[in-house]
């Protein structure tokens, strides 16, 4: 039985080849992609919900006392400080869970694509092992990329803070306008630089998985591959992100409507003076519906743009390193890296 063809032609890719290759990969390897995504984001959601439940049980008495205060009463320090600590801890747990789950998807997508380009099968356990093994390097790559890209914007925010301080301390209206103008121009000047840096390193996660590179080496690799094709990489990446955002919005609409209906039904069961626990129970259907819609839409957002980025990585290597013949030869060789 002849092997299945890959999801893309093994030559320079046009826009249609990139998009059709991404869709073909989702269609052929959807179980592996969405299986890893469901495990990653479902696990993250379970961790956050467990952390929220623990936090609520720890500060329920403090919350009840604050909610029972009148309009003229002030909360006591011993009541609001535990609330801030508890829900701040939940936020930190949520951030860590989202970073890990997103990194798993950033790793799993190139791992699947590495086989999809050659038309070879990919099993869920193999993809999961590959994603887990390369996840620390991908986290390092993504964090470094965002830190570098955010430096210009952070400088702009520092300038904006200086603007606010100057506006408060300056009596002259003309001076306020001048400082504000400088702050706005600084923000507009740094945003393109941040975008340029982000696109420059956008292929780094693919290099981490395809070539087993470390974070710094992968970022250098991405910079070399993007050189001479920045606008094309930017445009196709932006298009893929817009397509995923539209699909995510459309997916969430029915879940939002279902959640609103469930919330209305739940609110009718509340009395005149409900306690926080009864409010949470009554609105649980609404919250769960929104969370389910967000989880499904997140699978689309976390899968399609990285697939397009991975195909752009393959395309740049085909164009600059004549990778096509190597891929054609490798298509008949069993994979070794997942052994």
**Looking at 21-25, 173-177, 182-186, 297-301, which range is the least confident one?**
173-177
Q: Judge if pTM exceeds 0.85.
A: no
Alpha-carbon distance of 81 to 59, in angstroms, equals: 10
Band the pLDDT of 141: cuts 50, 70, 90: very high
**Looking at 57-66, 255-264, 275-284, 327-336, which range is the least confident one?**
275-284
Tell whether 41 is covered by a domain.
yes
User: Does 170 or 38 have the greater pLDDT score?
Assistant: 38
121, 115 Cβ separation under 8 angstroms:
yes
Average pLDDT, the chain: 82
310, 109 Cβ separation under 8 angstroms:
yes
Tell whether 4 is covered by a domain.
no
> Residue 86: pLDDT above 50?
yes
Cite the DSSP H helix spans in 170-214. 173-200, 204-211
**Looking at 26-30, 34-38, 133-137, 276-280, which range is the least confident one?**
276-280
> Residue 188: pLDDT above 90?
no
Q: Which two tokens stand for residue 112?
A: 């699947």
Overall average pLDDT of the 271-283 stretch: 56
Tell whether 7 is covered by a domain.
no
Tell me which residue range forms the domain holding 44: 19-330
Looking up tokens 């991908």, which residue turns up?
A: 138
Per-residue buried b or exposed e for 125-135, using 16+ beta carbons within 10 Å of the residue's own CB: ebbbebbeebb
Backbone angles phi, psi at 213, to 5 degrees: -85, 155
Tell whether 295 is covered by a domain.
yes
Tell whether 8 is covered by a domain.
no
Alpha-carbon distance of 158 to 154, in angstroms, equals: 6
Tell whether 14 is covered by a domain.
no
Band the pLDDT of 258: cuts 50, 70, 90: confident
Overall average pLDDT of the 15-26 stretch: 95
> Residue 338: pLDDT above 50?
no
Alpha-carbon distance of 220 to 148, in angstroms, equals: 13
> Residue 72: pLDDT above 80?
no
Closest CA to 304 of 256, 258, 257, 237: 237
Q: Which two tokens stand for residue 140?
A: 């390092």
Overall average pLDDT of the 278-299 stretch: 75
> Residue 227: pLDDT above 90?
yes
Burial grade of 329 (CB within 10 A; 0-12, 13-18, 19 or more): exposed
**Looking at 30-34, 97-101, 115-119, 324-328, which range is the least confident one?**
324-328
> Residue 336: pLDDT above 60?
no
CA dihedral for 263, 266, 272, 275, sign (positive or negative): negative
Structurally, the chain folds into a number of domains equal to: 1
> What angle is formed at CA 319 by the lines to CA 315 and CA 324, rounded to 5 degrees?
75
Band the pLDDT of 1: cuts 50, 70, 90: very low
Task: Give CA separation, 127 vs 47, 203, 339, in Å.
Answer: 22, 19, 11
Closest CA to 199 of 309, 324, 279, 123: 309
Alpha-carbon distance of 189 to 40, in angstroms, equals: 37
Q: Which two tokens stand for residue 70?
A: 């009148």
Band the pLDDT of 49: cuts 50, 70, 90: confident
Question: What pLDDT score does 165 carry?
Answer: 64
> Residue 337: pLDDT above 80?
no
Alpha-carbon distance of 113 to 210, in angstroms, equals: 9
Overall average pLDDT of the 262-267 stretch: 59
> Residue 205: pLDDT above 80?
yes
User: Does 207 or 164 have the greater pLDDT score?
Assistant: 207
Tell whether 218 is covered by a domain.
yes
Instruction: Dump pLDDT digits (tens) for 6-18.
Output: 888 888 999 999 9
Band the pLDDT of 82: cuts 50, 70, 90: confident
Overall average pLDDT of the 161-173 stretch: 58
Question: What pLDDT score does 331 carry?
Answer: 66
Tell whether 136 is covered by a domain.
yes
Band the pLDDT of 332: cuts 50, 70, 90: low
């Amino acid at each position: 039985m002849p092997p299945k063809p890959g999801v893309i032609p093994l030559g320079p890719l046009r826009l249609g080849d990139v998009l059709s290759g991404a869709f073909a990969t989702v269609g052929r390897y959807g179980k592996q992609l969405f299986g890893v995504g469901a495990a990653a984001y479902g696990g993250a959601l379970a961790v956050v919900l467990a952390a929220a439940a623990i936090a609520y049980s720890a500060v329920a008495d403090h919350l009840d006392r604050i909610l029972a205060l009148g309009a003229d009463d002030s909360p006591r320090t011993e009541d609001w400080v535990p609330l801030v600590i508890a829900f701040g801890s939940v936020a930190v747990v949520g951030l860590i869970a989202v970073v890990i789950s997103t990194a798993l998807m950033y790793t799993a997508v190139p791992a699947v694509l590495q086989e999809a380009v050659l038309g070879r099968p990919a099993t869920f356990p193999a993809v999961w092992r590959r994603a887990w093994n390369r996840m620390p390097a991908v986290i390092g790559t993504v964090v470094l990329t965002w830190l570098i890209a955010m430096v210009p914007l952070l400088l702009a925010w520092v300038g904006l803070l200086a603007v606010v301080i100057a506006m408060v301390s300056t009596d002259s209206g003309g001076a306020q306008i001048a400082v504000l103008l400088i702050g706005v121009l600084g923000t507009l000047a740094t945003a393109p630089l941040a975008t340029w840096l982000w696109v420059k390193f956008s292929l780094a996660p693919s290099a981490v998985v395809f070539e087993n590179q470390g974070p710094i080496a992968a970022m250098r690799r991405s910079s070399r591959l993007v050189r001479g094709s920045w606008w094309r990489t930017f445009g196709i990446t932006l298009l893929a992100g817009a397509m995923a955002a539209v699909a995510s919005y459309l997916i969430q609409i029915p879940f939002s409507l279902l959640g609103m209906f469930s919330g209305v039904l739940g609110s009718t069961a509340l009395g005149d003076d409900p306690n926080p626990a009864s409010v949470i129970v009554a609105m649980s259907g609404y919250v769960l519906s929104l969370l389910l819609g967000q989880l499904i839409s997140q699978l689309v957002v976390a899968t399609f743009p990285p697939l397009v980025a991975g195909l752009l990585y393959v395309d740049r290597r085909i164009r600059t390193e004549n990778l096509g013949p190597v891929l054609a030869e490798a298509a008949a060789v069993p994979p070794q890296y997942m052994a």
